[in-house]
């Protein structure tokens, strides 16, 4: 398939991406329920979180797809909080004297375990 998108404006591309995502959600096979063993990652993305009546709105900004929004129930917020705290306590940060770039390809570590402002 060859679709020429070179002449589309940013707004037209945003609309195309949104429509394609809605269409993809209806097709089989569904995207895998488990994350891949490796993934390209956006380093230090902007994010936003705010409370919802039964949980939290968690948004991440992807440079090509824009803001991706997820409504998480309260128990998932609690679970993420405990996982991130656990990971923070387990892993030492890179030494301040060592300048190491953040990786853009990440291998997830599945076995280990906001404030309403944008970051």
Q: Hey, what are 30's tokens?
A: 């569904």
Note the pLDDT tens digit of each residue in 43-81: 999 999 999 999 999 999 999 999 999 999 999 999 999
The tally of domains found in the chain comes to: 1
Q: Is residue 69 part of a domain?
A: yes
Distance between the two ends of the chain, CA-based, in angstroms? Answer: 38
Q: Is residue 52 part of a domain?
A: yes
Which domain range does residue 21 map to? 10-32+45-92
CA distances from 105 to 33, 37, 52, 91 (A): 20, 11, 32, 19
**How open is the CA angle 70-35-49, to the nearest 5 degrees?**
20
Q: Is residue 21 part of a domain?
A: yes
Note the pLDDT tens digit of each residue in 76-94: 999 999 999 999 898 877 6
Count of CB atoms within 10 A of residue 23's CB?
Answer: 9
Q: Is residue 113 part of a domain?
A: no
């Amino acid at each position: 398939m060859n679709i020429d998108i070179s002449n589309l404006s940013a707004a037209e591309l945003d609309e195309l991406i949104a429509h394609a995502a809605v269409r993809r959600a209806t097709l089989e096979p569904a995207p895998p329920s488990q994350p891949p063993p490796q993934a390209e990652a956006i380093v230090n993305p902007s994010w936003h979180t705010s409370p919802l009546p039964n949980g939290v709105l968690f948004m991440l900004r992807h440079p090509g797809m824009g803001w991706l929004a997820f409504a998480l129930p309260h128990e998932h917020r609690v679970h993420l909080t405990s996982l991130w705290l656990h990971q923070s306590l387990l892993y030492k940060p890179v030494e301040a004297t060592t300048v190491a770039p953040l990786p853009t390809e990440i291998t997830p570590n599945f076995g280990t375990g906001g404030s309403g402002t944008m970051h």
